[in-house]
Structure 1
Amino acid sequence: MPKDATPVESDGRRQRTERSRSAIINAALELIEEGVLIATAQQITDRANVGIRTFFRHFEDMGALAQAVDESIRGQYEAAMLDADRSGTLEERILHAVERHADVYEQNYNIILATTAQRWRLEVLQQNYARVQKGLRKDLDNWLPELKTIASSQREAIDAIASFEMWHRLREHQGLSVKTCIEIINGLLLNLTQSA
């Protein structure tokens, strides 16, 4: 610490730094939620009401910001997957798994789309996407231990049907309601697991 800096000044500087960093992360999230899936550093700093130099003092590049955004929301979406009663018949568990995945997809819709839109150019998003896919597969295993005994081709079909990509197609391209999407995916999964 410089000789003329007091602990109070140092704490104030640290708090301002943390406020700026949080404002940038929150601005990036707000823009994504509004549908700006590939926001520029300038758009983010304008929203955060900080200068572009401040942005690059906190984040080396857009990949570093993407990592920080993921870290700020990861606990929320991972907790949503874990907090569930997984008891019941096979039919009940399939329905509850589909409903839980639907909740997570709907709550994080634009975040997932933003990840998909930028995944090709940011390694951190490729890693995050792979981690989430692995987690979703494990989550289905936890809901449906029966999946461990089915043919690999059927298991891969189940993962495809339960994926966000399938959800997005039904919701966006086919214009279906959440309820109808749940019914469709539930029916497909039931058919596959019962025919195994």
Structure 2
Amino acid sequence: MSKTQGDDVVDGRRLRSERSRLAIVEAALALQEEGVLVPTAQQVSDRAGVGIRSFFRHFEDMETLFEVADGHIRDSYEALFLGGDRNGTLDERIEHAVERHGDAYESVSNMVLGTQAQLWRYEALRKNYARNQRGLRKDLDDWIPELKSVPRDTREAVDAIASFEMWHRLRYHQGLSKSSSIAILKGLLKNLIIDA
């Protein structure tokens, strides 16, 4: 075998390995999106069409997989919260922020629930979740600069009201429509910020 043929074999193996690794990441994400909030290595392997040994050649454990998966989709889920018309009255900006966050929460609901279910288990997920919470807080500051001058208790209440947990409670546990949930959150935030 010539050097060129040997290089081609190595490149071919590397490409197959990268394809398998990507298939595993995408399988884990697809399972979570479909409602398998805490997929097992076997479920992910089966979905990706690879053997369990191949899974563990690519990923030391599930925590490593979840960390890589988060990096794989971080830009796309963070983009869901960015943008939007951030001008207008306080009332308009609160409404637009709640709508934007509500749409984003709807898109990432199963991913967040899967993460929350495993926070106790994986340090990487705790770090990612904390980073995301800081990002959401900063995003609210961008929408509503008035928050920088409210008392600390008010600000903490704002973050709680604008959280995924509050959105999920209204939509899932209380069975409210999207428009009703937006109206409730907008009213709560407006009252808090104006009264501060």
Measure the CA separation in 2 of the matches of 1:83 and 1:148. Answer: 20
Measure the CA separation in 2 of the matches of 1:8 and 1:145. Answer: 56
How far the C-alpha of 1:83 sits from its partner, in A, is 2.1
**Which blocks of at least 5 consecutive residues in structure 1 are unaligned?**
none
Read off the aligned partner of 2:98 and give its amino acid letter: V
What are the within-5 Å matches in structure 2 for residues 106-121 of structure 1? 106-121=106-121
Identical aligned residues as a percent: 62
Q: Match of 1:70? A: 70
Measure the CA separation in 2 of the matches of 1:182 and 1:141. Answer: 19
Q: Match of 2:181? A: 181
Measure the CA separation in 2 of the matches of 1:169 and 1:66. Answer: 25
Read off the aligned partner of 1:112 and give its amino acid letter: V
Q: Match of 1:88? A: 88
What are the within-5 Å matches in structure 2 for residues 121-140 of structure 1? 121-140=121-140
Q: Match of 1:55? A: 55
Read off the aligned partner of 2:74 and give its amino acid letter: R
How far the C-alpha of 1:10 sits from its partner, in A, is 1.7
Measure the CA separation in 2 of the matches of 1:124 and 1:135. Answer: 17
Paired residues in the alignment total 195
How far the C-alpha of 1:11 sits from its partner, in A, is 1.6
Q: Match of 1:156? A: 156
State the 4+ residue runs in structure 1 displaced beyond 3 angstroms. 2-5
Deviations 1:119-155 (A, max 9, x none): 1100000000000000000000111010011111111
TM-score of the superposed pair, with normalisation by structure 1: 0.96
Read off the aligned partner of 1:189 and give its amino acid letter: L
Structure 1 SS opposite 2:81:
helix
How far the C-alpha of 1:80 sits from its partner, in A, is 2.1
How far the C-alpha of 1:4 sits from its partner, in A, is 8.7
TM-score of the superposed pair, with normalisation by structure 2: 0.96
Measure the CA separation in 2 of the matches of 1:31 and 1:81. Answer: 23
Measure the CA separation in 1 of the matches of 2:64 and 2:161. Answer: 32
Structure 1 SS opposite 2:36:
coil
**Which blocks of at least 5 consecutive residues in structure 2 are unaligned?**
none
Measure the CA separation in 1 of the matches of 2:5 and 2:48. Answer: 28
Q: Match of 1:15? A: 15
How far the C-alpha of 1:166 sits from its partner, in A, is 0.4
Measure the CA separation in 2 of the matches of 1:150 and 1:78. Answer: 26
